[in-house]
Amino acid sequence: MEFVKGHGTENDFVVLPDLDDQLDLTVARVQALCDRQRGLGADGVLRVVRADGKWFMDYRNADGSIAEMCGNGLRVFARYLVDAGHQPQGSFVVATRAGDKTVTTHPDGSVTNDMGPARLTGTSIAAVDGQGIGGFAVDVGNPHLACVTEVPVESFDLTVPPGFDPVMFPHGVNVELINTIGDNALRMRVYERGVGETRSCGTGTVASVASWLAGQGKTTGSATVDVLGGQVFVTIEPTTSTLTGPAVLVARGELDKSWWDALQ
Ligand SMILES: N[C@@H](CCC[C@H](N)C(=O)O)C(=O)O
C-alpha cells in the first residue's frame, strides 16, 4: 500500500492514494498513521479517491475525526495529483466535504486554492491561558474562532486546549490567535480541532484574514499570514476567498501490510 508524506507550511499529512475507494480507513488506522512514535507522524491523512470522474479529498484529523475541509491539505493533495501524473500542471477541481474547490498548481511548487466564501457567523470568546479573547466565528467549510489580539501570539501556552462556547460550536472549533505585524501582514498561531497546536492551518489563515478585515469594518482585502511553518497569502473577495502557499512532497514508500492489517 503506497503512501506519500507531504506538508504545506509544515502542516503535515500522510497521503494515501486509494483511487478505487478500497481502503477501510478506520479511526485506529488514522491515529496510528499520524502518531509520531508508532506511525509515520502527521497532523492528518489525505485519502485520494477518484469518484464519478472527480477527485475526492477524504480528510481526517490526527485523532481520527473527519473534518469538512483542510486548506493546506488541499494544496498538498493537488501537488500529489500533478506529481503522480494524474493531472497536468494548472487548474482542476477537487471535491471535498465542503464542496468542490478549484486548485491551481504553479511551476514553483506553490498552489492556489479557491476556498469559497469565508462566512462570518457571529462573535464569541476563546479562553486561552486564563484569558478571554474575543473573535469572530468564521465558517470556511469548517468552523473557526479567529481572534485578533494585541497580546503577542508567541506568549500563549497552546499545550492546553482553548475553551470555547459549546452552544455556538457544537461540533468543536479551530481557534486562531492573530497579531497585526505590518501593512496587510498578520502572524497567526492555531489550535486545531482534532489535532492540537499545528504549525499552520490553511482554513485558519483564511478565517484570520476575514476576521481581521471584519474588525476594520471591511469585507474584502488581502494579507500575508506568517505561521510557525512559513507564510501564505490570502485574499477575501465578496463571494469567495483564495489561499496561496507552498506544497511540498517529502517522501514516498510502502506501508507494511501486517502492521496495517493488525490495526482495526
Ligand atoms: N489543517 C487544516 C484544517 C484541518 C481540519 C481542522 N482540524 C478541523 O477539524 O476543522 C487546514 O489547513 O485548513
Residue 150 is labelled as binding a ligand:
no
pLDDT at 144 over 90: yes
DSSP string, 74-98: HHHHHHHHHHTTSS-SSEEEEEETT
Quick one: pLDDT at residue 30?
98
Q: What is the DSSP letter of 227?
A: E
Q: Per-domain residue ranges for the chain?
A: 2-114+247-262, 119-239
Catalytic-role residue among 4, 78, 133, 201: 201
Q: For ligand 1, is residue 202 a contact (CB within 6 Å)?
A: yes
Question: Percent of the chain, pLDDT > 70?
Answer: 100
Quick one: pLDDT at residue 52?
87
CA distance 94 to 102: 6
Which residues neighbour 16 within 8 Å (Cβ) at sequence distance 6 or greater?
Answer: 1, 2, 3, 23, 25, 33, 45, 46, 47, 48
What average pLDDT does the segment 141-150 reach? 98
Quick one: pLDDT at residue 109?
97
Q: Where are the alpha helices (DSSP H) in the chain?
A: 27-34, 71-83, 202-215, 257-262
- Give the Å distance between the CA of 138 and the centre of ligand 1: 13
CA distance 40 to 113: 26
- Give the Å distance between the CA of 44 and the centre of ligand 1: 8
Task: Write the pLDDT tens digit of every residue in 247-261.
Answer: 999 999 999 999 999
3-state secondary structure of 31: helix
pTM for the predicted model, two decimal places: 0.98
Q: For ligand 1, is residue 11 a contact (CB within 6 Å)?
A: yes
Quick one: pLDDT at residue 82?
98
Q: For ligand 1, is residue 174 a contact (CB within 6 Å)?
A: yes
Q: For ligand 1, is residue 208 a contact (CB within 6 Å)?
A: no
pLDDT at 2 over 90: yes
Question: What amino acid is encoded at 185 in this protein?
Answer: A
CATH assignment, 2-114+247-262: 3.10.310.10
pLDDT at 49 over 90: yes
The CATH architecture of the domain made up of 119-239 is Roll (3.10)
Q: What would the grid cell of residue 41 be?
A: 507522524
- To the query of whether residue 34 is one of the catalytic residues in this protein, the response is no
Q: Are strands 99-105 and 110-114 parallel, antiparallel or unpaired?
A: antiparallel
Nearest-CA residue for ligand 1 atom 3 is 70
Rounded to the nearest integer, the mean pLDDT of the chain is 98
Phi then psi for 87, rounded to 5 degrees?
A: -140, 140
3-state secondary structure of 199: coil
Residue 193 is labelled as binding a ligand:
yes
Q: For ligand 1, is residue 194 a contact (CB within 6 Å)?
A: yes
Q: Which of 138, 152, 150, 156 is nearest to 204 (CA)?
A: 138
- This model of the complex carries an ipTM of 0.99
